């Protein structure tokens, strides 16, 4: 049943008609509930509200698979301006982005040039930029870019997906760089050739990766709403006396808000992923596909306020 639910929401995420309708009619409804706003400026008030609750933030301008150098340049400028606004407003916020939004599918030199401009600004203002992971066909290229940037910049991190077979080895290689890593289960539809088809195997691998990353001394973000993974991380921390400053929990804006606040009260660092922009529909459907329990969390979030 879970596989059927996952496939259904992944199918909906790619429906162009529904995506168009959501952009035109649903963006204002989604703002302040599952996305910050339709642009970064309109998201600032929501970010400040989260900061006041003791929650850190990472923001992401929704939209990927850019096939125009001009659009990639616009996304680059927008990201640089977002970094500057975070600094000016004194927000406790980082930035997340996808390499395809900067031209990965167009030309490698283009994405390197665009990302270099972003990281130059992020380094100057001391704001972390996380390179989000995409589907398995872009995983290798994304990690190679991260390795290249990590040699030059401090404020760059990336994401690893527990459902991919390759991730354990990727983590071993990346740990040599003393990285900041976000660990997720994975939200794209991949074949059994590349990814664990069974949830139980994904969960087992996710716990293995959490342990591996923390014991390697990496700063690790455990990005999950799954309380089993959260409790596993807490137990790991107690058993190995891992400093609380070495890891954080990350959750989606509008989902599990009470759990986020409870973790903060317990002394854990929690970062909320706040996407913004018009292309929110595909993002939302992928989050529902990622874990069936998210459906209930999302409905609660969409009906608040």
Catalytic residues: 132, 182
Give the SS3 label for residue 250.
strand
| DSSP character string of the chain | -HHHHHHHHHHHHT-HHHHHHIIIIIHHHHBTTTBS-SSSGGGHHHHHHHHHTT-EEEEEE-------HHHHHHHHHHHHHHHHHHHHHT--EEEEEEGGGGTTTT-HHHHHHHHHHHHHHHHHHT--EEEE---HHHHHHHHHHHHHHHTT-SSEEEEEETTBTTHHHHHHHHGGG--EEEEE---S---TTTB--SHHHHHHHHHHHHHHHHHTT-EEEEE---HHHHHHHHHHHHHHT--GGGEEEEEETTSSHHHHHHHHHTT--EEEEEEESS-HHHHHHHHHHH-THHHHHHHHHHT--
| Contact predicate 91/125, CB 8 Å | no
- 214, 216, 220, 223 alpha-carbon torsion, rounded to 10°: -60
């Amino acid at each position: 049943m879970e596989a059927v639910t996952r496939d259904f929401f992944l199918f909906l995420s790619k429906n162009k008609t529904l995506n168009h309708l959501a952009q035109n009619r649903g963006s204002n409804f989604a703002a302040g509930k599952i996305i910050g706003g339709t642009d970064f400026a309109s998201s600032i008030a929501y970010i400040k509200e989260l900061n006041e609750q003791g929650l850190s933030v990472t923001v992401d301008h929704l939209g990927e698979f850019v096939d125009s150098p001009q659009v990639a340049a616009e996304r680059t400028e927008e990201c640089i301006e977002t970094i500057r606004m975070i600094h000016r407003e004194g927000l406790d916020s980082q930035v997340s982005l996808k390499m395809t939004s900067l031209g990965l599918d167009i030309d490698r030199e283009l994405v390197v040039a665009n990302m270099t401009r972003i990281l130059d600004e992020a380094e100057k203002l001391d704001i972390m930029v996380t390179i989000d992971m995409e589907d398995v066909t872009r995983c290798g290229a994304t990690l190679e870019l991260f390795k290249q940037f990590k040699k030059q910049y401090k404020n760059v991190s990336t994401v690893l997906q527990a459902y991919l077979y390759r991730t354990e080895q990727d983590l071993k290689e990346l740990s040599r760089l003393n990285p900041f890593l976000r660990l997720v289960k994975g939200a794209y539809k991949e074949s059994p050739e590349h990814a664990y088809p069974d949830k139980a195997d994904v969960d087992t691998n996710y716990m293995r990766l959490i342990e591996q990353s923390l014991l390697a001394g990496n700063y690790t973000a455990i990005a999950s709403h799954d309380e089993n993974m959260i409790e596993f991380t807490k137990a790991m921390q107690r058993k190995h006396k891992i400093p609380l400053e070495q890891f954080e929990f990350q959750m989606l804006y509008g989902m599990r808000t009470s759990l986020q606040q409870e973790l903060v009260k317990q002394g854990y660092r929690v970062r909320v992923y706040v996407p913004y922009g018009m292309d929110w529909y595909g993002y939302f459907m992928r989050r529902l596909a990622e874990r069936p329990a998210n459906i209930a969390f999302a409905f609660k979030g969409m009906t608040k306020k």
